[in-house]
Amino acid sequence: MFRSAIVRPPSANFSEGLTREDLGPPDFALALAQHEQYCAALERCGLQLTRLPADARHPDATFVEDTAVLLPRCCVITRPGADSRRGETEAVRECLSMQGVPLETIIAPGTVDGGDICEAGEHVFIGLSARTNAEGAAQLGALLQAAGYTSSIVDIRGVDGILHLKSGLSWLGERRLLLIDALADDPAFAEFEPVLVESDEAYAANAVLVNDVVFLASGYRRTAARLRELGHALVELDMSEFRKMDGGLSCLSLRY
């Protein structure tokens, strides 16, 4: 059960962040409103929020998930793969340290983005991507093993359309995964029950299990219907402005 989360609103220069999408610039006022709706949903699920201030030095800083990997027995400050994002970890490290959370750290030349790390109970999937390299994955894998977790590597460098592993994959609890078709045959997922997302709803694959509720981006009718058929309670949230900047639901918080 998650009890806490770290969040950070977008800064006024949010549109200057990194993106591969071609959906136009985000509407800043709407992004703020969508972020607040997301925070309110976390609070309704019982989480106490630590709200970091917006950081105009780092336009991508609202995507706090990339700065750390937080598991009950292993908390790691990452080293983001994009040079422009390295400074985002400072405030998160300070915040967690003030709360007494023991922290490990990914060191150079390793890089890890939290968006490439998918916890599935006692097992962790580590994505190799343009942002998480083999050295970073190896460092994280060793830290997880020392803490009693198992892990496996999923190489997404040849998968079109996703920036991070969790762009195309979410854990739904127990042995169930929500994932895009391009990941379905990866042997890392062989022991899990796949729930496939249709190609025109691929963005919905980035969902978030928050205690007993699944957060899902709104507007993906078939994915929502399938999850409800499987017995999942949903909170659907508008993510239009964050999608323009390559962000998804998981990116907007560090849950622990």
Q: What residues are labeled active site?
A: 164, 251
Question: In Å, how far are 114, 127, 251 from 145, measured between CA atoms?
Answer: 17, 16, 25
List strands edge to edge, sheet with 74-77: 68-71, 74-77, 104-105
Find where tokens 């916890």 sit: 119
